[in-house]
A and B are shown apart, each in its own frame.
Chain A
Amino acid sequence: MTTDLRSRIRAANESTVEIMLSAWDNVVWVGNETAIDVIPGMTPTTVMHAGPPITWVDMCSSMREGVIGGLLFEGLADTAEEAESLIAGGGITLAPCHEHRTVGGMTGITTASMPVHVVRDDQNGVEAYCRLHERKRALQWGERDQQVLEQLRWMTDVLSPMLSAAVRAKGGLAVKSITARALQMGDECHNRNVAATSLLVREMMPDLIALDWGKDDLEKVARFLQEDDGFYLHIDMAAGKAIAEAAKGIEYSTIVTTIARNGVEVGIRISGLGDSWFTGPADLLRGSYFPGFNDDNVDADMGDSAIMETMGLGGQIQAAAPVFQQIVGGTVQDAINHTREMMDISFGRNPAFVLPMLDFQAGPIGIDMLKVLETGVTPIIDSAMAAKKGGFAGAGQVRVPMECFQKAFRAFAERYGLGQ
C-alpha cells in the first residue's frame, strides 16, 4: 500500500514538472484585452485582489486603498467615502485573482475595464491574465490620487492597445526566450527585471514604430517603457499563471502550483489538492526601505508575484542576480546558498534556466511540499513592500510560513489515506 502510494506520488510529480517545463516552452504573450472581455467571472462590480480570499474588513490598509482606487477608476464611486459605503452595502464582489485565471502584482487590484496581458499556451490549452505594470506611483501599490488614475487611463487608452497591436503584428512573443536570456544578464525575474524589460523593449520597438500610430503616442510609450524597469514582470507573471493552470489538479501530486499573499495571509495550493488554499500568517519582508519607511508603516508580504517563485524564478534562483543581495544585505555566497537550498526543496530542474554562478547548473522548478516538510526549508520570495497608506516603500525577501505546508500535508494525508 505505502509503496503504491509513493510510486503514485513520484509519477504524479514527474508528470507535473513535465507539464511545467512543456508549458514554459509554449507560453506566448499574444496581446492585451480588457479584463471583463476575457477574465472568467469578471463583472462590472467585481474587484479582484492578490493572495488567498479575504474580506474587506480583514484587508490590510494598502489593499483597501487599492480597492477604493479600483472603484474610483471604474466610476462606481466619486469619493473614497462613496466607495466604502458601496462595499459595506454589499454592492461589490471581492475575489482573489488566482481563482479567475489571473494574477495581480502587489495589491493585485483588477477591475472590469482595466487592460490585461493575455498569455496563452496552445499546446496545454490554457490562457491567463495579468494587469499591466504601472510606472512609479501606482494603484498596484495602493495609491489612488488623480495622477495615478490618469496614468492608468492613459495606459488603458494608448499604451495597452499599442503594445497589443505590435505584439499581434509580430505573431506573439515567446516568454521563455526573454526570461532565459534575462537570467544570463543579472535578473532573477521577480524583484529585478531590468534586463528582461530592456530585451522586451528591443523586441517590441520595431513593431511599435511600424504601427504608424502617431509620433506623440509612440514617444510617450517609449518613454514609459524606458522608465519602468519592472514592466516585463507582469507579462512573465501571466505566463507563470498559465503554467500553474496547466499543472494543477494532478491526482497525488505534491507540487506547489500557487504561492500568493494578501498582506495578511500567505496562501499556497498543491496540484494534487485542487483549488484548496492552505494559509499561514504573512511576515514583514527583510531588506531595504526607502527613506521615511520602516517596519511600522508598511504592510506585510503581499502580491501574486510569487507565481515567479512557483515557476522557478525570483527567490528560487537568486544566484542569477547577485546584485539583489545589496538590497537584502547579503553576500554573493548567500545568493548561491539560497539557490542550493531551493534546489533541495524542488522536484525538478529547468534546463532552459541555467545559472552561470553555479557552473551552468539548471535552476530548480516544482517546489515539492514533501521536500519542504522533510528539510524544514521553506521557499524564499523576493519581493517589495507597500506602504500602509499606499506606495512603494522598499524591497526585500521573506520565507513562506511552514504552517501553509503543514496544513496542506494534513489535507493530503486525509485525501489520500495516509496513516490508515
Chain B
Amino acid sequence: MTQPVSGLIGAQLTVINVGLSLFAESLRQQGIEVAQVDWRPPAGGDMVLLGLLDQVTQIDKGDDADDN
C-alpha cells in the first residue's frame, strides 16, 4: 500500500532525529514532534579500530563465515 508523496505535504510532521540532540531541540522549539534517538558512532568513529573490532566481535553475531 503506497500513498502519494503529496499526502505528506501539509500533514503534521513527526521527525526522528538520530545523533546530536541539538537538531531535535531546534525542531521542538518550532512545535514539531521529534523522537530523539541517542546514537553515537561505534568506536568513536575510528575506522582503524572498527576494522580491528570486527575481528573480535562477530562471534556475538553468530557470523564466523569469514574466519580463517
Contact = CB atoms under 8 A, between A and B. Distances in A.
Please give me the 3 A-B residue pairs with the lowest Cβ-Cβ distance, nearest first.
Answer: A376-B40, A6-B59, A402-B44
A44 B11 CA distance: 74
Interface in B13-68: 39-44, 46, 49, 51-53, 55-59, 64, 67-68
Given A403-B44, A406-B43, A374 B52 contact: no
Interface string A1-21: 111011101100000000000
Interface of B: 39-44, 46, 49, 51-53, 55-59, 64, 67-68
Given A10-B59, A402-B43, 14 more contacts: A1-B68, A3-B67, A6-B56, A9-B56, A373-B49, A374-B53, A374-B57, A376-B42, A377-B40, A403-B44, A409-B49, A418-B55, A418-B56, A419-B52
A215 interface: no
Contacts of B46: 406
A370 interface: yes
Contacts of B42: 373-376
Interface string A354-371: 000000000000000010
28 contacts: A2-B68, A3-B64, A3-B67, A5-B55, A5-B56, A6-B58, A10-B59, A370-B57, A373-B43, A373-B44, A374-B42, A374-B43, A374-B53, A376-B39, A378-B40, A402-B40, A402-B44, A403-B44, A405-B44, A406-B43, A406-B44, A406-B46, A409-B43, A409-B53, A410-B49, A418-B55, A419-B51, A419-B55
Per DSSP, chain A at the interface is helix
A405 to B, nearest CB: 8
Per DSSP, chain B at the interface is helix
B53 A370 contact: yes
Contacts of B58: 6
A3 B62 CA distance: 11
Contacts of B57: 370, 374
B17 to A, nearest CB: 16
Contact of A376 (B41, B59, B68): B41
Contacts of A378: 40
Contacts of B55: 2, 5, 418-419
Interface string A288-301: 00000000000000
A418 B51 CA distance: 10
Nearest to A401: B44
